[in-house]
Amino acid sequence: MEFKKNPELIEKPDHAHYPVCRGRLDEIEEISRKTFFYTLGTNGVLALFSLLQVPMHLVGWVPLLFTMQDTSAFNMGAGFSFFQLLMCLIIAGISLLGCTKHKIFTAIMFFLYALTFVCSLIARLTGFDFITVIIGIGGMYNSLGALKGYSDYKQLRNTEGFPIFSTVLADHDDMKKYSPNGYNKKHFDKLLREKALRERNIAPHQADSSYPVPNLTQPQSADTKDIGGMPSLNVTRPARNTSVEQKFIPKAHKELFFSDSTLKLK
């Protein structure tokens, strides 16, 4: 099945399409995850009714084909209960496949929930049909956009950068083109040395080929090729200002020392 391509996901030069494609891919994956977890929850409810031998829409359609008796609540037999439980597992498996690269299964779940909703309104099985009506509405809401997501996912699979769409990895691959052997240690040391020389404003032709790679964690001196000398400190004592001391002289005579007490303690 061919779908119309999404113009926002078309490849652009310099990997400019990566952010949009990454965001759209995350949206598609989120739809599949929401549908899967919602299906697990609703199938748990349907499995409970299966144990109670109550026929329910969607999971009870196939077992009803092999049952000759009329539908009734709490009295469909152990065989019917087993096969309806099996259908719950199968439908949960279909939603799980939608979380993989097969996004068509999420689109199938949308149609199954829509069919559940319509059939629950038209055909009456038991008095619990209102539960499947609610399940159908919730399923359509959670899997809404699955069909469009499937078409966009097919386009993304044929787009450059899939499935990561990482600009960091793209820049890494572009840089590897400048080295025939990739990022080996000799080539990496050369790049590190050139970067250190640029940061120290040292021209490549001024540096000796035997000049070691500087330690980037320490400041370097271009003249001495070391960490440089410590600047001299000014340790001269500042001149004292007597006007400041006058502010702390008491106006009246006060004791400026501790005197001995005349009290004698036994």
Q: Is the confidence at residue 116, as pLDDT, over 90? A: yes
Q: Is the confidence at residue 38, as pLDDT, over 70? A: yes
Q: Residue 261's pLDDT band (boundaries 50, 70, 90)?
A: low
Q: What share of the chain is helix, strand, coil (3-state, %, to 5)?
A: 55, 0, 45
Q: Is the confidence at residue 220, as pLDDT, over 60? A: no
Higher-confidence position of 178 and 62:
62
Tokens of 103: 């996004």
Tokens of 153: 């996912």
3-state secondary structure 62-127: HHHHCCCCCCCCCCCCHHHHHHHHHHHHHHHHHHHHCCCCCCHHHHHHHHHHHHHHHHHHHCCCCC
Please return the burial class of 21, using the count of CB atoms within 10 Å of its CB with bins 0-12, 13-18 and 19+. buried
Tell me what pLDDT residue 126 has: 84
Q: Residue 184's pLDDT band (boundaries 50, 70, 90)?
A: low
Q: Is the confidence at residue 160, as pLDDT, over 80? A: yes
Q: Is the confidence at residue 204, as pLDDT, over 90? A: no
Q: Residue 106's pLDDT band (boundaries 50, 70, 90)?
A: very high
Report the largest interatomic distance among the alpha carbons of the chain, rounded to a whole angstrom: 118
Percent over 70 (pLDDT), the chain:
64
Q: Is the confidence at residue 149, as pLDDT, over 90? A: yes
The average pLDDT across 173-185 equals 61
Q: What is the pLDDT of residues 120-145, one digit of tens each?
A: 999 888 888 899 999 999 999 999 99
Q: Is the confidence at residue 252, as pLDDT, over 70? A: no
- Displacement of CA 100 from its chain's centroid (Å): 17
